[in-house]
Amino acid sequence: MKDEKWILEGLVVESLRNGMFRVRLDNDDLILGYISGKIRRSYIRILPGDRVKIEVSRYDSTRGRIIFRIDPKPRNKDSND
């Protein structure tokens, strides 16, 4: 059986060394998050103030893996900007 994980959303509060971040979840828990390999390979920048999706193990809910950066303002493909 595959290890089940929770996928939660939160706000990046602080940037730490080596791709680590402090993330405040929507339920006000503060956890330590690290960047997944897919985000690192794609050179996606994560800064304090960004909303992210984070994958948290059920066994250790104090750490998680950042799997997605939520775009703050979705782009409209039909507009001529």
At 25 the pLDDT is: 95
CATH topology of domain 4-68: OB fold (Dihydrolipoamide Acetyltransferase, E2P) (2.40.50)
Kindly state the average pLDDT of the residues 4-19.
Answer: 93
C-alpha 72/C-alpha 53 separation (Å) is 13
Would you list the DSSP string of 19-75?
A: TEEEEEETTS-EEEEEE-HHHHHTT----TT-EEEEEEESS-TTEEEEEEEEPSSPP
Instruction: Please determine, for residue 1, whether its predicted confidence score (pLDDT) is greater than 70.
Output: no
Residue 64 has pLDDT above 60, yes or no: yes
pLDDT at 35: 95
Q: Where are the domains of the chain?
A: 4-68
pLDDT in tens, 15-34: 999 989 999 999 999 999 99
Per-residue pLDDT tens for 33-42?
999 999 999 9
Name residue 12's amino acid. Answer: V
